[in-house]
Amino acid sequence: MPYNTTAIPPRKEVTGQTQLPLTRVKKIIAVDPDITVCSNNAAFVITVATEMFVQYLTSEAQNMTKLERKPRRNIQYKDIANAISHQDNLEFLEDVVPKTASYREVKAKAAAARARVSGEKSTGVAADTERPSDGAPNGKRAKPIVNGNGHASPATNGISRSRVLSSDAADPNDQLELEMREAQRSDDGDVDMTG
C-alpha cells in the first residue's frame, strides 16, 4: 500500500487546538532545570510557535527541492541542510543540521590536514586517496624520531618554521600536537617574570 504523501495544509483560522501533543510539550518543558513553573497558556504558545517554525522550515526546504535540476515531491535531509545554509535567519541550526559530505571528500580533507601538520605538500584528491597515510597501513601516524637530547628532530635540516592550520582542519587536535612539538624543539628556557 503506498504511503500517504499529501501535505497537511496550514490552518487559516485559530481553533485553539494544536497539531503537536500539548502534554508532550509540557513534559519537554518540565525537563529544563531553568524553568520551575510553566502555565498552560505558555505551553500552548510554545506549541503553536513550534508548529509555525516547523512549517516555515519545511516550506524553505520545499523551495530548495523545487530549485534542483530534477524537482522532487519529497523533502530529503539535504534539502533541509541546503535551506539552513542559504537562509540567514536559520543560521543557528547549521551545527544541528550540517551539510553532508561524501566519504571521499572527508578522507581528502583529513589527508590534506595531515600533510599540513607534517609539512608535506598536498597534490590533490587523487594522490591523497591512493597513497597510504604516513607509513602505517591502519592509518595511524608514525611517531617522531627523537634525537639524543630528547627533542624531536626537525625534518627541515634544523630550520623550525611555525605552521598554523586553517579553521577547516579535519582534526582540531592536529594544531595542538604541532604546537607541542614546536615547543619541545625550542631551547629558549623559562622566562624570568620577577622583574
What confidence score (pLDDT) does residue 156 get? Answer: 44
- Convert 162-180 to b/e letters by CB count within 10 Å (16 or more is b): eeebeeebbeeebbeebee
User: Rounded to two decimals, what is the model's pTM?
Assistant: 0.50
Q: What is the mean pLDDT for each group of 10 consecutive residues in the chain (195 residues)? A: 71 78 92 91 92 92 89 88 91 89 89 85 48 49 52 46 50 72 64 60
What confidence score (pLDDT) does residue 176 get? Answer: 74
What confidence score (pLDDT) does residue 3 get? Answer: 73
- Residues 94 and 84: beta-carbon distance below 8 Å: yes
What confidence score (pLDDT) does residue 121 get? Answer: 57
Q: Which residues contact 93 (CB under 8 A, 6 or more apart)?
A: 84
How open is the CA angle 9-13-15, to the nearest 5 degrees? 100
DSSP state of 143: P
What confidence score (pLDDT) does residue 160 get? Answer: 44
